[in-house]
Structure 1
Amino acid sequence: MKAGIDTKIMNRPNINQLYLKDTSFANLMQKRVFNVLLVASRYDAFIMEEDGRVEEQIYFEYVSLNLSSPPRVKQVTTNEEAFEELALKRYDLIITMPGVDCSETFTQAKAMKRLYPYIPIVVLTPFSHEVSRRIAKEDLSGVDYVFSWLGNVDLLVAIIKLIEDKMNAEVDITSVGVQLILLVEDSIRFYSSILPNLYNFVLKQSQIFSTEALNDHERMLRMRGRPKVMLARTYEEAMQIYEKYSGNMLGIVSDVSFVRAGEKDKKAGIKFCTYVRSCDPYLPLIIESSERENQKEAIKLNASFLDKNSKKLPVDLRKTILKNFGFGDFTFINPNTGEPIVTIKNLKDLQDNIDIIPDDSLYYHASRNHISRWLYSRAIFPMAEALQPRQITDLSEISEIRKLIFDAIVQYRKMKNRGVVAIFKRDRFDKYSNFARIGNGSLGGKGRGLAFIDAMIKRNPTFDNIEGVNVTVPKTVVLCTDIFDTFMESNNLYQIALSDISDEEILEHFLKAKLPEELKPDFLAFFDVVGKPIAVRSSSLLEDSHYQPFAGIYSTYMIPSLDDKNEMLRLLLDAIKAVYASVFYADSKAYMTATSNVIDQEKMAIILQEVVGTQYNDRYYPSFAGVGRSINYYPINDEKAEDGVVDLAIGLGKYIVDGGRSLRFSPRHPNKVLQTSTLDLALRDTQTRFYALDMNRGEKPFSIDDGFNLLKLSVRDAEKDNSLRLMVSTYDPVDQMIRDGYYDGGRKVVTFANILQHKAFPLASILDSMLTIGSREMGRPVEIEFAGNLVGPGNTPGTVYWLQIRPIVDMKEMLSDEVMDLPDERTILKSNTALGHGVMDNVSHIVYVKSSSFKSSNNVNIAREIEKINRTFTEREENYILVGPGRWGSSDSSLGIPVKWPHISSARLIVESALDNYRIEPSQGTHFFQNLTSFGVGYFTVNTFAGDGYYDESYLNELPAVYESESLRIVKFDAPVLIEINGRKGKGLVTKPGVEQIENK
């Protein structure tokens, strides 16, 4: 992993194009010591354990250092038992303790090495001059290391970690830049004492720097990026390690007297450090010696000196490493006086203070690689690598360095925040934070979807810059489901919630309840960072699941951004409680029954999210919002179903969800928009209204209507806001034509022509990427929600915000192209614009609106009547076909019957029919799309008056009714009718009873 930027620091464009690739900590330390074979007499083992098991001691030592995967230790007492055990099981490390005959241990070690050359073998012996003398005469060729047992279990951990570091060094250091501390020491006694201290220090420092992680899982993984420790016992071994890893050395601790060229050299350490210093003038060196005269040599080499005779050598070593190797806090000093100027504790501190550090201090530290070394020690590899190659030779370059450091921190923090569900900490959540959680429960369906989007964007750098525009997720904090549990139980709400009282009464009880007090400071911190209105969205356990999504069932509220944060807090708390209440509304309970779920098993997470948009006086809305689907069952001209489809509108997306008129197009064919293909269509079928958030606090009480504080405005209102320029065309009534673009005078028509046809903003290519990559990563067709601003702060390019992704369950069964070949007289319904695909042969009822008595003014009453009818079908677990004029589900009752999905949830086929005097542009199932596809429900549009499709209502009228009212009629057939839909062709029909299915070819 490299930072990917030019080494010429003065080249400003390269600094601006800084790209940092994330470190995959999960891929580090892949080789581990899991099983240890301990060969020791019962007495030696007893002395080592102090009457306790070695395995338990190692385990507790691992736990105290927050390390994972402590190894298992198997103890045997003889070499014979050891060979038997090695034949039965794989071991990663052998530790053997010599008995009376020291030579026997080393002879057996060579035998083990011949049979198991891949297993490291360590000899562990109590220290004494006699033992040292005997070991000096032994053949150590079968042994990797000899250690002196000093009665400290830390040594066992150090041995295991030393072996693991050696196994993983090459891959981890060369692949991501993990740093190395080299210890050069040949005295068994000294390195057996120093290594446990060194590892204890490094591991505890890694616990400290792991707090840069955003959650517990990442913190554990991040510890894998700690500096490695390697031991060299000869000059040649030290040179070999240095030459191989010189670019990733954090520092060197070296003895002075050790073997060189096969002989003891009393100045070997000085010679080695002299060579290192000639290669790297700033690498921290610590020279240790029992001879004080070597201190002068150390000073010449600009190295620290430690006296090996000192009783506080371990303390001195820790202090010197802390000061010189980049661990701990970073202190910027005055280079002339050495006085501290500012102390930096973490990356955010550096970002906040980089502008106030004096030039000479920044130059001093940057030119000596102090800053990059500090970053390396904290496993912040991408930034460290971006800064390390900068060889600054002149103070005039310092402004570029300052900018580079700041930009690198911003880029790094953005990168690290993306794709990670962080634990919310109010002192660390800032404008570079993206996604955090409060609580330990589930994120819920939408929350999981958002977290998946965030991770997907991180995996696909394409989204970082599509023709200058970024795709991202709005700042998000999720209140996990455990907070819902606490709220419900602490306020004793289940008895109220599960009762049959009205929705309004349920909401009233919930608003009076109290949320945990400790949430309030977190919410205030979130306000400070976002500085925008907040959307409070439901994210239930069942929501957006693959086969039974609860899309549109629960509430979403928006609250304005207010100067009075306490008032804003009150609104937020009420909004959260109102979303919780919506779990228990009558519609939700009915839907639960329809989907065979149990209401008291549902749990709600809450998504708090910045509302995308711009404030215009007292209203707030985005440039555009929309819904996209990766599969299009309404392709036109040369479009294909797999090209996808988008519904796009100005203002808040709720307008589309509520069935408002949007612009529909395929992102791969943005030049072909059916609604703008003729003057009449453009004037009649394009958007004229939009939703905006009312930024006046007002005194409107919370309502079961989650849109109570939204404004439904005319496009003319947006024109006054000067927010339409790239999204509209202008109708010229004199020339009777529509001109692409915004011109004074004339009606403004929402065509998005400058964006879709003239590519003033790369929206089509962005949406195509979102749908293509989204469906590829989910492994199935998807529906997405998005919103965006065309212009960012300071006229910068705008941003597209990805708000949601959920799967569309795509049934595999496809029908033949001859679906529509059946003669009309053998069918009840035929449609040339059919949504869904497959065969349904278990429906025996048709519920239809009687054309003869239909009045659009009665649509609200018809909706109520259908709700009651649907409830009876749900109770009987039966399905039906629903037929009626206009748009099903429209919030505008003049355009159709305003049912919600729970009111028609037992329908298997829904049909929009046209009347001669009531020809409403079909909705194509916009409001119910996710539910239709997930449940395999068909949706037909039939307009017999325009020669589009067929509807034999007279046949139904002649049959006896099992129910009839002024507006509705229900017919039950003796045998099920057959519903067939070819989704790719967009064709479907319903046969009369007794007509067999058309054979597939």
Structure 2
Amino acid sequence: MLSKLKLNQLYFKDTQFVNLMTKRIFNVLLIANPYDAFMLEDDGRIDEKIFNEYMSLSLRYPPRFTQVSTAEETWEKLSETMFDLVICMPASDNSDTFDIAREVKEKYPHLPLVVLTPFSHGIRKRMEHEDLSIFEYVFCWLGNTDLLVSIIKLIEDKMNLQHDIEEVGVQMIMLVEDSIRFYSSVLPNLYKFVLQQSQEFATEALNEHQRTLRMRGRPKIVLTRSYEEAMGLYQKYSHNMLGIISDARFPHDGVTDPLAGIKLLTEVRKQDPFIPLILQSAEESNRAYADQLEAQFIDKNSKKMNIDLREAVSNNFGFGDFIFRDPYTMEEVARIHNLKELQNTLFSIPAESFLYHIRHNHISRWLYSRAMFPLAEFVKQMSWDSLQDLNAHRQIIFDAIVKYRKMKNQGVVAIFQRDRFDRYSNFARIGDGSLGGKGRGLAFIDNMVKRHPDFEEFENATVVIPKTVVLCTDIFDEFMDTNRLYQIALSDADDDTILRAFLHAKLPDRLVEDFFAFFEVVKSPIAIRSSSLLEDSHYQPFAGIYSTYMIPYLDDKYEMLRMLSDAIKGVYASVYYKDSKAYMQATSNVIDQEKMAVILQEVVGTQYGDRYYPAISGVARSVNYYPINDELAEEGTVSLALGLGKYIVDGGLTLRVCPYHPNQVLQTSEMEIALRETQTRFYALDLKNMGENFSLDDGFNLLKLHVKDAEADGALNYIASTYDPYDMVIRDGIYPGGRKLITFANILQHDVFPLARILQLVQKYGQGEMRRPVEIEFAVNFNARTKSGVFYLLQIRPMVDMKADLQEDLNAIPDDRLLLKSENSLGHGTMEDIQDVIYVKTDGYSASNNQLIAYDIEKLNRRFLDEDKHYVLVGPGRWGSSDTWLGIPVKWPNISAARVIVEAGLTNYRVDPSQGTHFFQNLTSFGVGYFTINAYMNDGIYNQALLDSMPAVEETKFLRWVRFERPLTVKMDGKKKIGVVMFNE
């Protein structure tokens, strides 16, 4: 029980590697006579050597060396540049290097000084009489540039030691050694080994940037030269020691003690029975002490001493692979390369081997050396004594690894690696180009959820993004170039021809294995969405312009691969369709700047026989220009529906609710409205459709079903209410007989699932971090049996809010100056550049002609686009409805030059305000006004008589287009929902 408790309280905070190793050495001053400096550089290229050395260890920021040989030069350089380190090379003659050094120390007491010298007889004699206390270290130069890297790293480690240990618990290796010759040759070896190891473990990082940062978490190396210094450091940082390497003979109480090292290690061993110790000595007799202390012994006289030391460090300090051994024979039982492997083999390790390694803290030490601090810390606390139950121990380490990996994967765009992508991976990219608009939005919300722990507070809900892999824009470029598609794409060919050409082209072969690896992990249908460079960018909405295909999950990988590649090519082709080109023109973008990334994402939902769909889909907007009752505009609004989200985007009947008032739903407030205005149809993915007839319509494999089909699937628990025709009431929940209404009542009013609270958080943080109103798409998989669910964030994009400040009272404008007035308008701002009005004639109007009216409007709209002019559009019913009986079925590109769009009800044809359907995003970003007027009910003003009396620029069977001499003035107050169009005398 203890374990379960601890794990639930465990909130792994990600290690902030950025805050580590903040103090660096950038400039080094070298004081040496020209000959010695030349000797040091061998052939005069020390910067280049150091640079190469740094690069080979993938270290950043190699330092720069400045060489001086006289006191004058020294002072001149010190006055010009900030130096971080001074290296002195005394020559054998009586040069004044030491005198210069002493003066430098007096003037710059905080500047570290180091002596570097070839140990010839003359220099040794000279140094005996010098006071070396001003120097941090003395090193022996044997002509190896590695030593310079070690000196710099040693001093950097010392500068950052305390901060980094306290910040995240970085580990350290302590070297106790007073022989200059000896530590000058051991340190370069040790550093090279540790740096290479940290390169190895940095592969646990998910992308290049993280990789370089993780290197900062490598263990530090500290050199101590006396018993007191070593003991002091051990007492201070005993919890962060990876291991100790000690000589036997060094100063203790001011005199050289041949057994100082043994005394030190004995004291350490008393305090920590498991810390790895290495004793090195030139005296073979000390080997016996090493055995007593359970320390490795290394013979300093051995020719291969450096190799022995490396091996001892590698085997004992938790570096390299983790090897599970049989405690009796010490034979290898299993070898672990990375965290994922450890997780997969935990339960198959023999009990006695597992116990041996836990008892000796080996697992936590291995995790520490790989800079996985939160996890290492946790595993270290779960000691054998506290738990004493082997299976519980395996389980708890397993759970902790899972939790840690989930935390690491969240909010990070990883590079897709076939062998590493698994069910704990969240977001990966293939290619090096841009992620495109939607891709960036997804990466952003994933990161946002990770940073705010209140998303973790729900007992029965988790908030995540679906598993996502993005094919970056460079794959698109490569596809277009290698298949030579630009010629046809940019031509005037029709959409179908373009699509066929793209379907015949070939995607890069190397993607095949990646796709297979993705199928393995996702095991659900996949949505292939466009993520173009311009789409969802902050100021240009491209919502709904490009295609989104969905494909079912199949056991036949190759069949699935075929469908996936067709879908990707279909999305690529949609960049060059007629509508997209028209839209580009409307937004003054250049089509060849558009590049397409493609998002592959698991489809949220549940399989019911041959159909697949989620319990809830929705779109949340953080600003609501239609606040009703006591809702506030800034509380936002959400549209909810059963089934796939395409239904909402197509302007279907959804449930509109404010997350701060989930009990007040207009549509379910009265029985009549509820029966008339709740969802009756929904979309599901057809799992039988194999995409043989791959077409321009990206919804070719979606089924539009009746709500009663969902009832038969058993998918309506907790999301539907039942209408009882006998008692004429609506009851929340599913009861036999009676029509089922999609009201989400149990979730909204009875809080079976914390949907409203999650939406409040998502809107609050989304808007807060984007610093502007946002629109968020989401879906929920809800399990009625356990009353729990997963809330998936699918997309976030800015709603571009008009900041125009309207001070005047629009109600004060006299009616005789108004052409149009709506008290239920959408939009905010002022326009003064429109002279034209296109309106649908009302005499003999019939909804059966709506499709024909749409064609007429499209033709006129194209002329406005060509002339870069705008107009006011007036017509009955809902604009853009996919149901032609409810309104005129235009798509955004067909009316994209309109700047005010009016829904005008007729006595015999009244449609409730559509509250901005498919083009909500486009309306808000272009600042288009959307008015609802039912003038015959005294709801607003529509002066049609004036328009009828004016000559038409053009007239068709259904439409009239008139032009005013002077521009009209449009004013909209979004907070008060009033909009007017005035004509100027």
Structure-2 change in CA distance of 1:249 and 1:102 (3 Å): farther
| Residue 503 in structure 1 maps to residue 495 in structure 2 | yes
Distance 1:10 1:456 in 2: 31
| Residue 667 in structure 1 maps to residue 651 in structure 2 | no
Per-residue deviation at 1:118? 2.1
Q: Contact (CA 8 Å) 2:92, 2:123: kept in 1 or not? A: no
| Residue 957 in structure 1 maps to residue 948 in structure 2 | yes
SS at match of 2:2: coil
1:30 is matched with which residue: 17, 22, 26?
22
Distance 1:440 1:34 in 2: 31
**CA offsets per residue over residues 538-586 of structure 1, 9 Å max, x none?**
0001000111111100000000111111111100000000000100000
| Residue 354 in structure 1 maps to residue 346 in structure 2 | yes
Structure-2 change in CA distance of 1:696 and 1:17 (3 Å): farther
Name 1:6's counterpart in structure 2. Answer: none
SS at match of 2:599: strand
1:429 is matched with which residue: 417, 421, 426?
421
1:877 is matched with which residue: 856, 868, 876?
868
Name 1:800's counterpart in structure 2. Answer: 791
Q: Contact (CA 8 Å) 1:853, 1:967: kept in 2 or not? A: no
**CA offsets per residue over residues 625-661 of structure 1, 9 Å max, x none?**
0101111010111111100100010100000000000
Name 2:928's counterpart in structure 1. Answer: 937
Letter in 2 for 1:166: K
Name 1:905's counterpart in structure 2. Answer: 896
SS at match of 1:927: coil
SS at match of 1:852: coil
Q: Contact (CA 8 Å) 2:563, 2:690: kept in 1 or not? A: no
Letter in 2 for 1:61: E
| Residue 778 in structure 1 maps to residue 777 in structure 2 | no
Distance 2:388 2:217 in 1: 35
Per-residue deviation at 1:106? 3.1
| Residue 862 in structure 1 maps to residue 853 in structure 2 | yes
Name 2:143's counterpart in structure 1. Answer: 151
Name 1:391's counterpart in structure 2. Answer: 383
Q: Contact (CA 8 Å) 2:31, 2:97: kept in 1 or not? A: no
Per-residue deviation at 1:129? 5.0
**CA offsets per residue over residues 10-69 of structure 1, 9 Å max, x none?**
343223443211111111111111111111111011111111321111001101111111
Name 1:694's counterpart in structure 2. Answer: 686
1:440-451 correspondence runs (5 A): 440-451=432-443
Structure-2 change in CA distance of 1:351 and 1:838 (3 Å): same
Bigger mean CA offset, 395-404 vs 448-457: 395-404
**CA offsets per residue over residues 567-614 of structure 1, 9 Å max, x none?**
111000000000001000000000000111111111100000000000
Letter in 2 for 1:804: Q
Which 5+ residue runs of structure 2 have no aligned equivalent?
A: none
Bigger mean CA offset, 84-93 vs 808-817: 808-817
1:111-510 correspondence runs (5 A): 111-393=103-385, 396-510=388-502
1:745 is matched with which residue: 732, 737, 745?
737
| Residue 840 in structure 1 maps to residue 831 in structure 2 | yes
2:74 is matched with which residue: 74, 78, 82?
82
Per-residue deviation at 1:113? 1.6
**CA offsets per residue over residues 672-709 of structure 1, 9 Å max, x none?**
11111111111111101100000003464111110010
Letter in 2 for 1:153: T
1:641 is matched with which residue: 633, 641, 653?
633
Name 2:959's counterpart in structure 1. Answer: 968
Give percent identity, aligned residues only.
62
Q: Contact (CA 8 Å) 1:729, 1:748: kept in 2 or not? A: yes
Per-residue deviation at 1:381? 0.8
| Residue 713 in structure 1 maps to residue 713 in structure 2 | no
Letter in 2 for 1:964: E
Q: Contact (CA 8 Å) 1:106, 1:139: kept in 2 or not? A: no
Q: Contact (CA 8 Å) 1:106, 1:142: kept in 2 or not? A: no
1:973-984 correspondence runs (5 A): 973-984=964-975
Bigger mean CA offset, 70-79 vs 461-470: 461-470
Per-residue deviation at 1:76? 1.2
1:565-584 correspondence runs (5 A): 565-584=557-576
Distance 1:451 1:687 in 2: 32
Letter in 1 for 2:437: G
Distance 1:646 1:875 in 2: 37
1:750-829 correspondence runs (5 A): 750-791=742-783, 795=786, 797-816=788-807, 818-829=809-820
Distance 1:49 1:64 in 2: 19
Q: Contact (CA 8 Å) 1:103, 1:138: kept in 2 or not? A: no
Q: Contact (CA 8 Å) 1:110, 1:143: kept in 2 or not? A: no
Distance 2:247 2:127 in 1: 20
Per-residue deviation at 1:141? 2.2
What RMSD over aligned residues (CA atoms) do the two structures have, in Å? 1.4
Q: Contact (CA 8 Å) 2:840, 2:959: kept in 1 or not? A: yes
SS at match of 2:384: coil
Distance 1:869 1:266 in 2: 100
Distance 1:33 1:854 in 2: 81
1:106 is matched with which residue: 98, 119, 133?
98
- Give the TM-score of the pair, scaled to structure 1: 0.97
Name 1:830's counterpart in structure 2. Answer: 821
Structure-2 change in CA distance of 1:706 and 1:102 (3 Å): farther
Q: Contact (CA 8 Å) 1:363, 1:395: kept in 2 or not? A: no
Which 5+ residue runs of structure 1 have no aligned equivalent?
A: 1-8, 995-1001
Q: Contact (CA 8 Å) 2:724, 2:731: kept in 1 or not? A: yes
Per-residue deviation at 1:817? 6.2
SS at match of 1:123: strand
**CA offsets per residue over residues 178-237 of structure 1, 9 Å max, x none?**
110001111111010000000000000011101111111111111111100011011111
| Residue 600 in structure 1 maps to residue 601 in structure 2 | no
Per-residue deviation at 1:128? 3.3
Q: Contact (CA 8 Å) 1:820, 1:830: kept in 2 or not? A: no
**CA offsets per residue over residues 450-502 of structure 1, 9 Å max, x none?**
11111111111222333431110100000011111111111111111111111
Distance 2:861 2:156 in 1: 66
2:939 is matched with which residue: 935, 941, 948?
948
Letter in 2 for 1:928: F
Name 2:675's counterpart in structure 1. Answer: 683
Q: Contact (CA 8 Å) 1:820, 1:988: kept in 2 or not? A: no
Distance 1:422 1:154 in 2: 33
SS at match of 2:420: coil
Q: Contact (CA 8 Å) 1:817, 1:982: kept in 2 or not? A: no
Distance 1:294 1:103 in 2: 42
Q: Contact (CA 8 Å) 2:678, 2:742: kept in 1 or not? A: yes
Q: Contact (CA 8 Å) 2:691, 2:701: kept in 1 or not? A: no
Per-residue deviation at 1:833? 1.2
Distance 1:923 1:355 in 2: 57
SS at match of 2:970: strand
Per-residue deviation at 1:394? 8.1
**CA offsets per residue over residues 385-404 of structure 1, 9 Å max, x none?**
00112331388422221111
* Aligned residue pair count: 985
Letter in 2 for 1:930: Q
Q: Contact (CA 8 Å) 2:818, 2:980: kept in 1 or not? A: yes
